[in-house]
């Protein structure tokens, strides 16, 4: 069960050994502080813990293997720990708890915004095991396009993408898929969202580029740098432009994905040993080899209009 007190700090109820077994290198994720605490949810101490009153508490995730226990914890939090905050409309934290077989309550809880304000269910097997989720063809297509860009290939024929996809390892496939999943977060950083469209690829690409490049303002310069990237382009600060900020978030996301899958930093890359020379903050990159890899972080952001157009998505402002 995870208690997220801010985007960068997490309190986890459970043994430290269990957490590290599931996420072998979680402590290596930059700026993320993980604190394990062993206390039974059946004790009063659990519901009186000071963490519940933290001003920065944003999300509470309750996900034991026992869905009845998850529901019981959520109800006790509502009726005991947060009763005053809820009664006075001061409660802002989201409580998300897993109901795997729904128990006939999930939809009722989610739609009852008066009795269960800020309480949400997730993990319903009937909804999470659909063909659309298990075989997300749109996500896979974008992941394949991302992989193609890493290879430096311009051919986007379906057969070529498929054959190239089969040549990479499951780990590389998952890495590309997680980057594709992160596109929505990157879009929000630019005040954008995506929606499915019936327009053809060329029209979508033109529209997406127009909207995105208007925000970037320096798209021509970025394009030129990506076509012939030099280490001199490596920023001295990653806070000067929104593009650099989002590109740094992509590097941090990539690092977190690898750490959670048991990788660690090494001066020499060795995929067989799960070691990588780029598993460090961008500010620590001090060689031409590592600095040049920054182009992939920039590309992950800059080529979003194309990835989405290929997938049949149009970009819009979040308020449109």
Per the structure block, which two tokens stand in for 178?
A: 């997680």
d(CA 281, CA 238): 11
User: What's the pLDDT at 89?
Assistant: 87
The tens-digit pLDDT sequence of the chain (320 residues) is 555 555 555 656 665 677 777 777 777 776 677 777 778 888 888 898 888 877 778 888 888 888 889 989 998 998 889 988 888 888 888 899 998 886 667 666 766 666 677 888 888 888 777 776 667 888 899 999 999 888 877 777 888 888 889 999 999 999 999 999 999 999 999 999 999 999 999 999 999 999 999 999 888 899 999 999 999 999 999 998 999 999 999 999 999 999 989 999 999 999 999 999 999 999 999 999 999 999 999 999 999 999 999 999 999 999 88
What is the H or E stretch that residue 225 is in? helix 219-227
Contact criterion met (CB below 8 Å) for 151 and 181 = no
Alpha-helical runs (H) found in 55-181: 67-76, 83-87, 106-111, 125-128, 131-134, 137-151, 158-167, 170-181
Q: What are phi and psi of 39, to 5 degrees?
A: -155, 140
Helix (H) or strand (E) holding 275: strand 275-276
Identify the architecture of domain 2-128 in CATH.
Answer: 3-Layer(aba) Sandwich (3.40)
234 phi and psi angles, rounded to 5 deg: -60, 125
pLDDT for the residue numbered 303: 94
What pLDDT score was predicted for residue 131?
72
* pLDDT confidence of residue 48: 87
Gap between the Cα atoms of 259 and 274, Å rounded: 9
Among 298, 314, 307, which Cα is nearest to 250's?
A: 298
Contact 187, 291 (CB under 8 A): no
**Residue among 141, 140, 170, 168 nearest 157 (CA):** 141
The pLDDT, as a whole number, for residue 312 is 93
Q: Is the distance from CB of 137 to CB of 177 less than 8 angstroms?
A: no
Looking at residue 156, its pLDDT comes to: 79
| pTM confidence score | 0.77
Backbone angles phi, psi at 228, to 5 degrees: -150, 70
Beta pairing class for 264-265 and 192-196 = unpaired
Provide the CA 275 distance to its chain's centre, in angstroms.
22
In the chain, ranges of CATH 3.40.50 domains: 2-128
């Amino acid at each position: 069960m995870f208690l997220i007190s801010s985007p960068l700090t997490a309190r986890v109820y459970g043994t430290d050994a269990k957490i590290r077994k599931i996420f072998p290198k979680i402590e290596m994720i930059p700026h993320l502080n993980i604190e394990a605490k062993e206390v039974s949810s059946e004790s009063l101490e659990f519901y009186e813990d000071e963490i519940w009153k933290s001003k920065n508490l944003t999300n509470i995730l309750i996900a034991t293997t026992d869905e009845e226990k998850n529901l019981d914890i959520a109800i006790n939090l509502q009726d005991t720990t947060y009763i005053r905050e809820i009664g006075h409309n001061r409660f802002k934290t989201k409580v998300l708890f897993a109901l795997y077989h729904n128990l006939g309550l999930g939809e009722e809880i989610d739609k009852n915004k008066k009795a269960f304000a800020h309480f949400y269910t997730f993990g319903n097997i009937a909804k999470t095991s659909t063909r659309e989720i298990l075989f997300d063809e749109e996500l896979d297509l974008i992941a394949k396009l991302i992989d193609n860009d890493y290879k430096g290939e311009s051919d986007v024929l379906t057969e070529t993408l498929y054959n190239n996809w089969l040549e990479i390892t499951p780990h590389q496939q998952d890495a590309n898929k997680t980057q594709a999943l992160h596109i929505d977060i990157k879009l929000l950083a630019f005040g954008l969202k995506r929606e499915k469209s019936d327009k053809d690829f060329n029209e979508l690409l033109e529209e997406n580029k127009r909207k995105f490049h208007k925000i970037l303002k320096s798209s021509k310069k970025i394009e030129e740098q990506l076509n012939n990237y030099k280490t001199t382009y490596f920023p001295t600060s990653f806070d000067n432009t929104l593009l650099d900020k989002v590109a740094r978030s992509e590097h941090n996301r990539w690092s977190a994905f690898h750490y959670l899958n048991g990788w660690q930093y090494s001066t020499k890359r060795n995929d067989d040993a799960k070691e990588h020379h780029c598993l460090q903050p961008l500010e620590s990159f001090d060689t031409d080899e590592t600095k040049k890899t920054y182009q992939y972080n920039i590309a992950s952001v800059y080529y979003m209009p194309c990835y989405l157009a290929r997938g049949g998505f149009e970009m819009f402002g979040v308020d449109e």
